Amino acid sequence: MKSQRPFFLVSGPCVIENEAVTLRIATRLKAITDDLGIPFTFKASYDKANRTSITSFRGPGLTDGLRTLSRIKETLGVAVISDVHRISEVEAAAKVLDVIQIPAFLCRQTDLILAVATTGKPVNIKKGQFLAPWDMVNIVEKVRSVSSTQPMITERGVMFGYNNLVVDFRGIQIMQQTGCPVIFDATHSVQLPGGAGKSSGGQREFAPVLARAAVAAGADGIFLEVHEAPDKALCDGPNSLDLDQLPDLLTQLIAIKTAVTA
């Protein structure tokens, strides 16, 4: 059964490059979503621990990154989400973040999941590229074993051979059977992991296609990484959308959501 809830947006740059750029992107995102009446949570990583190369840009780190997210939260009045990679980060992150995200490659790390769940904050679990959608029930049960907070699940594609991902849209409804909201990550789903040699490639031109399909399939939320200049982004530029594309795409998604829930 397709969700009757209005879809919400999780969006922002892949990583905090610096405070000025991040605040500028967040400000534009808030204006766009306010204008369209879409619930919005701002996303940016303070540390990208899972990088292809030792030379890849990782971000400002925990302390400076959380300071930037806190400023965005206070300045714009938006909820913020970021990912944690180590148990030692959880306490500090929980003081700032409205939603704590478990990265896809860490979604089976039981101790990390339990540490995040016991904060009482909402948890977004990104489904690993190596998991079937029905496998997520076991991860949801880990959260529910220590918390009454409703977790969210994010679909971001599954490995299809080398350096490629594919999306099975049946997974949205399968994972909704857990009772959890399901988010579709349209931009990571067009990533080509490690496909550029020392970094991941991407096919951002297909992200809008997948986003439209996900809303039609009943996704509760849409995850889009965006940048004001994707070709110059320090992380995940090839699969990030240009901010200028967002108003038209979101308008299309609203129309699709209206049609499938009429």
pLDDT in tens, 60-103: 999 999 999 999 999 999 999 999 999 999 999 999 999 999 99
**pLDDT of amino acid 1:** 39
pLDDT in tens, 124-169: 999 999 999 999 999 999 999 999 988 999 999 999 989 899 999 9
Q: How confident is the model at residue 196 (pLDDT cuts 50, 70, 90)?
A: low
The class of domain 8-261 in CATH terms is: alpha beta
Fill in the DSSP letter of residue 54.
T
Per-residue pLDDT band for 52 (boundaries 50, 70, 90) equals confident
Cite the beta strand spans of the chain per DSSP E.
8-12, 40-43, 79-83, 99-102, 123-126, 152-155, 158-159, 165-166, 182-185, 191-192, 201-202, 221-227, 241-242
Model confidence at 3: pLDDT above 50: no
List Cβ neighbours of 96 (8 Å cut-off, separation of 6 or more): 66, 69, 70, 73, 80
pTM given for the model: 0.93
> What are the sequence ranges of the domains in the chain?
8-261
Q: For residue 16, which of 77, 50, 66 has the smallest C-alpha distance?
A: 66
Residue 160, number of CB atoms within 10 A of its CB:
12
CB atoms within 10 A of CB 198: 11
